[in-house]
Every structure is written in structure tokens, then in C-alpha cells.
Chains A and B, each alone.
Chain A
Amino acid sequence: MRSKTFGSFAEAVADIPDGSVIGIGGFAAPGTPYNLLKALREQGAKRLTCVGNTTGGAHQPRMPDIASLVENGQVTKVIASFTAATRPTDVLPFTKYYESGEVEAELVPQGTLAERMRAAGAGIPAFYTPTAVGTELAEGRETRVFNGREMLLEYALPLDYAFIRAHRADASGNLVFRLTQRNFCPLMAMAAKTCIVEVEEPILPAGALDPDQVHTAGIFVQRMVVVPPAPEGIWAVRRQERAK
């Protein structure tokens, strides 16, 4: 079997073409593929559609995020559950690009976003959900009543690539996440044609992980890179004050 382990982040993202749809895992810091985001910024692919929970927060220190690709002129469209912060006084780095019309955004409720990728990974083209019924998001869209309750039709969201971060992996690409690192990562892995993982611990030999403890099966993983120690590799740091 061809090795799934790549020697560098640059090699792992080298062939990503312009126009790709890329899912970026993570919720706050845990699961966020900082090193792959940085490598993609250096690689320079353009006209990307980026899918993630957020485009990156208003916190300091600034970490690689979808907004950093937007700032670099690489992104045409963002699909996320936030285009602005929960607190109107927090200004996201992304917001001005969206407000000026430089980037398009599709705002999707978080659970619907997760389920759209789960559906894509499971071979399900569409589903109905009660979320967002009666809101601006549902205007002009197909609804249907099930068991007396109005439901909104939502379509699967397939990805060309998934960028995710896991704690542990074996040579077959079987993944283990730690605590809240899991979030969107397993769903994006399944929704993508090519899933690229940054792994926090050295890759284990095949058979070293207990099959009953694997969160994402290696069948859904194509490429892996081990995160080197800081400062060469990027690791989560404690949040500081919000940016003004």
C-alpha cells in the first residue's frame, strides 16, 4: 500500500487546484489544522470555496484561519455558521471582505452544516430539518410537512478536500481525536474526496491502535503529516484579550 504519510505540509497540499472546495475542521482551537492552512496560503491556490464553522475569531494572537486565505485573495466563497461574531462589538477579520462584496458567503446553521457534510459522506443527497423554518434563511426554499411539523430541505455538501487535525494516527490513517478536537473533523473526512490530516503525535505502526477506539477509519484518510514541535509546527495557544 502506498504510504499516506507525507514529509511536509507543503508536499501534502502541493497539488490542490484553483477552484477547490475545502472543508476546514475545528471548533475554536481544538481540531483546527493551523499548519495545513499556513501551507495552503503559501501554496497560493485561488478561487477556493472554504467550509468551516467560522472564518476565524477576533482573538489574539491571530492564528492561521479561513480569513487569512481571504486576506491573501485566495477565496471566492465561504460556507460557515458565522460571518460575524456573536457579540456585535467583536469585529472578525473576515467581515470587511464580505461586506465589501469581495467574497461571497453562505450562512448555514451549525447543525445543518454538520449534517450536510455527514450526508455527503454517507451517500445521502438531501434531508429535511426543522432548523431555520420560518426564518429569513428559509425564504423561497422547499419545505414539507412531516408528522404535522414543517421541515426545510437541505442538500448534502460534498468537499474536494478536508483539512483536519487529529491527536493520534496509525500508518493506515486510522484516527483518534482528543476531547473536543473531534467536532467537524470526522464529518469533513467522510465528505471529502481527499482528506489531509495534521497529526499531533508520531504516526504509529499499523495495528498499534485498538480497532474499537478508532474515531475515523483510515478508509476516509488519504494524507497525513506529523506536526513538528513549536516553533516549526503551529500548536494551539491560550486565548488572550479580544482584538479591539
Chain B
Amino acid sequence: MSGTEKGWNRQQMADRLSEKFEDGWLVNLGVGIPTLCSNTDLGGREITYHSENGLIGYGPVLPAGQEDLHLVNAGGQNVSLKPDSVTVNHADSFAIIRSGRIDVTVMGAYEVAANGDFANWKVAGQKGGGIGGAMDLAACAKRVFIILEHVTRKGAPRLVPACSLPVTARGVVTLVATNYGLFAPTGHGFRVVELAPGMSFEEVRAATGAPLES
């Protein structure tokens, strides 16, 4: 994606969502593109990152040779501690999630629907899947932001009228970042919050499965 003249690359998508984080928020970043949010310059805002394996407050991934093998984030990366970092057990970590103390969870997805449903744990025809902490986070965080490519590799829309894949949670997504822009599910379609550079409304509408609202 890097070097494209139209649209956003993955880091820019992550940066756009990170701009919405408010000072003092407790934020959970999913595996994959969402972890790029931790690279964003937050200016003066103080954000605490929660990792579901029981790590509250962590810093950047450490380079080879400097890691502590007892310290990983949810993606298994060897991150660093911050002065106020704390570790808890898994029940306490998910107590933080289930009790609604996570201000926003940012996740990847295969599909997001106009009604705020999303799907990210099982691909078509798969037996089983990979849920991890996604269902707990999606059901219980105060906000769910999704970050994904606007269309599949075959060009099919990922912003759809209704999910075709098994959902992770229903009606929870409030903001979606794609390489084409920033969108909010409205129930009937997606409202354009911001278009990425070089993208026209018509172009994005043609690539979106549900009605696009200006």
C-alpha cells in the first residue's frame, strides 16, 4: 500500500482512527493493522493501551536482543513497559473488558454491515475459527472501531448491507477506517466522515456494498 497516490496506506488509516482517541482513554488494539495505531503521534493526549493477556499500559515493541521474553502483547510481540504498566491475570483482564472500562477497541474485520454488525473470526467455508478476545471486546467495549481494506483482493466490497460471514457482535461498530476514507454505519448505509486524498464520492460509492451517504 505504501507509495500509493490515491487513498491511505495502512499507517494513515491507523493514524486517522487514532486521531479520534481522547485524552485519558483506555484503548485495546487488535492484532494486525490496528497495532499500527500505537505508532501514531498522539500529541499531548495520554492514552493507555490494554492488551487482553493482562497487560495494562505498554510501550513500543523492542528490537531483537532487547526484549524481555516474559512480556508480550496480544499479538505475542515483545513490547516494553511504561512507568505505570501493570499486569493482571486473564480473569481480571477480561473483567476490565466486560465491565465496560475499555473506551475503544480497534479491530480488523472481513466485513462491516450498515447496521454496525461486523465479522472477523471465521472465513467462508471454514470449520472453527479464531475468536481470541474479539467477541468479549466487541460486546463490551464502549466503542468499536474497525480498520480494513475497502474491498477484497477480488474487488468485492467489505462495507456491506448485511454480513454474509458469521458475526463477531451485532450493532456495535461506530467508526470504520479504510484505504478510501473514514465512514460511520448509519443503520441503512455508511456516512462519509472523511474521504482519503484523491478519492471521489462516486468512486467510493461504486466500491461500497451499502448506500453511501454524504
Name A's B-contacting residues (CB within 8 A). Answer: 27-30, 53, 57, 59, 81-88, 95, 98-99, 105, 107-112, 114-115, 117-118, 129-137, 167, 177-187, 215, 235-239
Contacts and interface: CB of A to CB of B under 8 A. Distances in A.
Contacts of B170: 133-135
Interface stretch (B6-14, B133-141, B186-194): B133-141
Interface of B: 31-32, 51-55, 64, 67-72, 76, 78, 81, 87-91, 93-94, 97-98, 122-123, 126-136, 139-140, 166-170
A129 B129 CA distance: 21
Contacts of B135: 109, 111-112, 131-132, 135, 137
Give the secondary structure class of B's interface. Answer: loop
Contact of B70 (A130, A178, A238): A178
A59 B135 CA distance: 24
Contacts of A110: 52, 90, 94, 131-133, 136
Contacts of B93: 111, 114
A236 B136 contact: no
Nearest to B88: A182
Nearest to B120: A86
B165 to A, nearest CB: 10
A118 B94 CA distance: 11
5 contacts: A81-B133, A98-B127, A109-B133, A111-B133, A236-B70
A200 B53 CA distance: 20
Contacts of A81: 130-133
Given A82-B132, A133-B139, A183 B89 contact: yes
Contacts of A108: 131
A57 B140 contact: no
Nearest to A237: B69
Given A88-B123, A180-B53, A167 B70 contact: yes
Contacts of A178: 70
Contact of B126 (A84, A181, A235): A84
